[in-house]
Structure 1
Amino acid sequence: MSTPKVKRRVGKYELGRTIGEGTFAKVKFARNTETGEPVALKILDKEKVLKHKLVEQIKREISTMKLIKHPNVVRLYEVMGSKTKIFIVLEFVTGGELFDKIVNFGRMSEDEARRYFQQLIHAVDYCHSRGVYHRDLKPENLLLDAQGNLKISDFGLSALSQQVRDDGLLHTTCGTPNYVAPEVLDDRGYDGATADLWSCGVILFVLLAGYLPFDDSNLMNLYKKISLAEYTCPSWLSLGAMELIVKILDPNPMTRITIPEILQNKWFKEGYKPPVFQEEENINLDDIHAAFKDSEAHLVMEKKEIQPSVMNAFDLISMSKGLNLGNLFDEEQEFKRETRFTSRCPANEIINKIEAAAKPLGFNVQKKNYKMKLENLKAGRKGKLNIATEVFEVAPSLHMVEVRKAKGDTLEFHKFYKKLSVRLKDVVWKTEEDMKNSEPDDRDGNHKLHGS
Structure 2
Amino acid sequence: MPDSGGPAPPESGSKELPRPAAKVLFGRFKLVRLLGFGASARVYLARDLHSGRSVALKAIPKGRAAKNGLSHNVVREIAIMRRLRHPHILRLLEVLASRSKIYFVLELARGGELFAQVARGRLPEDISRRYFRQLISAVGYCHSRGVFHRDLKPENLLLDDAGNLKVSDFGLSAVPEQIRGDGLLHTLCGTPAYVAPEILDRKGYDGAKVDVWSCGVILYVLNAGYLPFNDPNLMAMYRKIYRGEYRCPKWTSPELRRLIGRLLDPKPESRITVDGILRDPWFKKGLGEEEWAALAKFHSAETADLENGKLWKSEEPDRALNAFDLISFSSGLDLSGLFGPPSDRERFVSAEPAEAILARAEDLGAKEGLVVRRKGEKGLAGVVVEGQIGNLVASVVVRRLADGLLVVEAEDGGGAAEMFFLKEKLLPALKVPATEPGSSASVTDRPHPVS
TM-score, normalised with respect to structure 2: 0.62
Q: Distance in 2 between matches of 1:90 and 1:48?
A: 21
Residue 118 of structure 1 and its aligned partner are, at CA, apart by 0.6
Residue 290 of structure 1 and its aligned partner are, at CA, apart by 4.7
Q: What is the correspondence of 1:237-256 to structure 2 with a 5 Å cutoff?
A: 237-256=252-271
Which whole-Å deviations, capped at 9, do the CAs of 1:255-306 have from their partners, x for residues lacking one? 11111011111111113325489974348988985564169888438xxxxx
Q: What is residue 281 of structure 1 aligned with on the other side?
A: 308
CA RMSD, 1 decimal: 2.6
Q: Distance in 2 between matches of 1:235 and 1:294?
A: 53
Q: What is residue 273 of structure 2 aligned with on the other side?
A: 258
What is the aligned-residue identity percentage?
Answer: 52
* Structure 1 pair 25–62 and aligned structure 2 pair: CA distance change class (3 A): same
Q: Distance in 2 between matches of 1:207 and 1:17?
A: 30
Residue 6 of structure 1 and its aligned partner are, at CA, apart by 5.0
* Structure 1 pair 53–225 and aligned structure 2 pair: CA distance change class (3 A): closer
- 2:158 paired residue among 138, 143, 150: 143
Residue 8 of structure 1 and its aligned partner are, at CA, apart by 2.7
Residue 82 of structure 1 and its aligned partner are, at CA, apart by 2.0
Amino acid at match of 2:155: E
Q: Is the 8 A contact 1:134 1:155 kept in 2?
A: yes
TM-score, normalised with respect to structure 1: 0.61
Q: What is residue 40 of structure 2 aligned with on the other side?
A: 24
Q: What secondary structure does 1:132 align onto? A: coil
Amino acid at match of 2:36: G
Q: What is residue 235 of structure 1 aligned with on the other side?
A: 250
Q: Distance in 1 between matches of 2:165 and 2:20?
A: 39
Q: Does 1:98 align with 2:114?
A: yes
* Structure 1 pair 152–59 and aligned structure 2 pair: CA distance change class (3 A): same
Amino acid at match of 1:116: Y
Q: Distance in 2 between matches of 1:234 and 1:52?
A: 40
Q: Is the 8 A contact 1:79 1:288 kept in 2?
A: no
- Return 28-37 or 196-205, whichever deviates more: 28-37
Q: Distance in 2 between matches of 1:261 and 1:296?
A: 47
Larger Rg: 2
Residue 109 of structure 1 and its aligned partner are, at CA, apart by 1.7
Gaps of 5+ in 2: 1-18, 298-302, 335-451
Q: Is the 8 A contact 2:242 2:266 kept in 1?
A: yes
Which whole-Å deviations, capped at 9, do the CAs of 1:406-446 have from their partners, x for residues lacking one? xxxxxxxxxxxxxxxxxxxxxxxxxxxxxxxxxxxxxxxxx
Q: Does 1:134 align with 2:167?
A: no
Residue 92 of structure 1 and its aligned partner are, at CA, apart by 0.7
Amino acid at match of 1:137: L
Amino acid at match of 2:134: Q
Amino acid at match of 1:40: A
Amino acid at match of 1:300: L
Q: What is residue 189 of structure 2 aligned with on the other side?
A: 174
Q: Distance in 1 between matches of 2:188 and 2:160?
A: 30
Q: What is residue 115 of structure 1 aligned with on the other side?
A: 130
Q: Is the 8 A contact 2:83 2:308 kept in 1?
A: no
Q: What is the correspondence of 1:175-214 to structure 2 with a 5 Å cutoff?
A: 175-214=190-229
Amino acid at match of 1:24: S
Q: What is the correspondence of 1:424-435 to structure 2 with a 5 Å cutoff?
A: none
Q: Is the 8 A contact 2:94 2:106 kept in 1?
A: yes
Of the two structures, which has the highest relative contact order with CA contacts closer than 8 Å and spacing of 6 or more? 1
Q: Does 1:70 align with 2:103?
A: no
Q: What is residue 156 of structure 1 aligned with on the other side?
A: 171
Q: Distance in 2 between matches of 1:291 and 1:239?
A: 50
**After the TM superposition, which segments of 4 or more aligned residues of structure 1 sit over 6 Å from their partners?**
276-279, 283-288, 294-298
Q: Is the 8 A contact 1:107 1:206 kept in 2?
A: yes
Amino acid at match of 1:281: N
Instruction: Figure out how many residues of one structure are paired with residues of the other and give that number.
Output: 298
- 1:36 paired residue among 41, 49, 52: 52
Q: Distance in 1 between matches of 2:81 and 2:20?
A: 37
Gaps of 5+ in 1: 302-452
Q: What secondary structure does 2:252 align onto? A: coil
- 2:62 paired residue among 41, 46, 65: 46
Q: Is the 8 A contact 1:78 1:287 kept in 2?
A: no
